[in-house]
Amino acid sequence: MDSLRHAWQYVQDNPDKVEQALWVHLRLSLTALAMAMVFFIPLGVLASRTNRVGPTLVAGVGAARVVPSLAVLFLLLPVFGLGERPALVALFLLAGPPLVINTDAGLRAVDRAVLENARGLGMNAIQAFARVQAPLALPVVVAGIRTATIEVVASATLAAFIGAGGFGTFITSGLALRDVRLLLVGAIPVTALAFLAEALLSALERWVSPPVARPS
């Protein structure tokens, strides 16, 4: 309890530092997620459209998950140097696998008979995808976005190792100085952001899920 009280006192004494860390953390996380969604969700759609290349593509993207985020950060240093750019690229790559895998899985899970019925009603391929297949796959896609968001928010703390800032700065300082107070100042907000993202996106996932028919 003393550590929590001291951490809270530090926040009250240094509101500008904490606020700056919050905005840097949010900017890194949201920018990386937005870029990843724009690139990797269409890639997942493309993978779902072919049985020849799609599984290989998804397997390759999935295999990339074994590479530690910190290793990716340091591998990017010779190309991008220190600061936010390598952090954004690393977080962008981290968000990719769940987006590709879930988008591909969600679209493939739609019953082909449903799509054939849509085509029978006069829809072309684009209309059937936009009005039938994509809405039915949306809950699985949102689940992938939820996973990607939590991973990015948590991993954004590593950006401090290359001078990008964020709440990871407090964590690295706390480790270096053996100061539990600073560790908590960094760790508690990141945990709260991850739980908040989980709650909001879980609610969105339930909202976009089709209602389950109840037996009469």
> Which pLDDT does position 216 carry in this prediction?
41
Domain that holds residue 131: 2-208
Looking at the 3D structure of the chain, how many domains does it have?
Answer: 1
Per-residue pLDDT, averaged over 21-33, amounts to 92
CATH number of the domain to which 44 belongs: 1.10.3720.10
Give the rounded percent of residues in the chain with a pLDDT score beyond 90: 32
Those residues whose C-beta lies under 8 Å from the C-beta of residue 164, and which sit 6 or more positions away, are: 24, 28, 82, 83, 84, 86, 87
Query: Is residue 60 in some structural domain?
Result: yes
Query: Is residue 216 in some structural domain?
Result: no
pLDDT digits (tens, 9 = 90+) for 156-207: 888 887 777 788 888 888 888 888 888 898 899 999 999 999 999 999 999 9
Per-residue pLDDT, averaged over 23-50, amounts to 92
Query: Is residue 116 in some structural domain?
Result: yes
pLDDT at residue 72 tops 50? yes
> Which is more confidently placed, 60 or 144?
144
Query: Is residue 213 in some structural domain?
Result: no
By the 10 Å C-beta count (0-12 exposed, 13-18 middle, 19+ buried), 88 is classed as buried
Phi, psi of 165 (to 5 degrees): 85, -160
What's the one-letter identity of residue 80? Answer: F
Per-residue pLDDT, averaged over 73-78, amounts to 68
pLDDT at residue 28 tops 60? yes
Which ranges in the chain belong to alpha helices (H)?
A: 2-13, 15-48, 54-63, 69-80, 84-109, 112-120, 125-128, 134-155, 168-177, 180-208
pLDDT at residue 212 tops 70? no
Query: Is residue 214 in some structural domain?
Result: no
Query: Is residue 149 in some structural domain?
Result: yes
Mean pLDDT rounded to a whole number for the chain: 85
* Cα 208 off chain centre by: 18
* Count of Cβ atoms closer than 10 Å to residue 60 Cβ: 12
pLDDT digits (tens, 9 = 90+) for 97-150: 999 999 999 998 888 888 788 888 788 888 888 888 888 899 999 999 999 999
What does the alpha-carbon distance between residue 167 and residue 184 come to, in Å, rounded to a whole number? 10
By the 10 Å C-beta count (0-12 exposed, 13-18 middle, 19+ buried), 214 is classed as exposed
